[in-house]
Amino acid sequence: MIASAVYHVWRAHNENAYHFCLTCDLQGILLLVACTNGLIQGLGLKYFPFWRTFWLTLTAILYVSLFYYVPYFVKRRLTKRRTFFFASYALMGLIAWYQHRLLLAYHSDEVKSFPVLKEFEDHLHVNWSILEALGVCYGTIGLGLLIRGLKVPERFRPKTFDIVGSSHQIFHCIVALGGKNWNKTNQVAYLNFVNIYELKLRGAFPDI
């Protein structure tokens, strides 16, 4: 958020400032996406260490690669290519979660032996809740990217939305809403994958 604010304040100062601030903004976004992916993969594949390590390693490698390519994207103004890479990178978390669902189905007999899922599955209905929250989160951010890419509404009324109501402003509002949905996902995922039983013994979650 700080990097984004600095970018929007200083971008019109000069070309060098524009490139520097945009680079910081994009690298901040990339870090946010990497942390999101890592959280989904780390929690979702907690019981499958091989795949958990695989996805976390791939996420880290791609993060470092994209981090160093951001200045190249900025300097050459490769906006569409940058958006494609960022969007593809963001989908890694969703792909890992769907793999989690497939692995749970494949190892259904073994999963039933896990104390957390066995004791609280009927009460929390966590799997579908997280899937729903992830769908809303990714769908919301995807809508924001679509609006920004199509330049709506200024495409239809040029110079009308230069100060208020531009696609970029709408994009930021929608992304903030997506972040709110992601907080909901975190709460449900936390209840699902952290050892709830031990926390309950310490007095947490009295309503469960």
Question: Which sequence spans correspond to the domains of the chain?
Answer: 1-92, 114-208
The answer to whether the beta carbons of residues 51 and 29 sit under 8 Å apart is no
Q: How far is CA 97 from CA 58, 93, 111, 202, in A?
A: 15, 6, 16, 29
pLDDT grade for 61, boundaries at 50, 70 and 90: very high
Q: Give me 180's structure tokens.
A: 């709110």
* pTM for the model: 0.71
Which residue in 127, 143, 149 sits closest to 178, CA to CA?
143
Q: Round the average pLDDT of the chain to a whole number and report it.
A: 75
When pLDDT is cut at 50, 70 and 90, the band that residue 100 belongs to is confident
**7-17 pLDDT, tens digit each:** 666 766 777 88
**Which one, of 96, 112, 117, lies nearest residue 48 by Cα?**
96
pLDDT in tens, 140-199: 878 887 887 788 888 898 888 877 888 877 887 887 777 666 666 666 666 655 554 455
- Token look-up 């199509």 returns 150
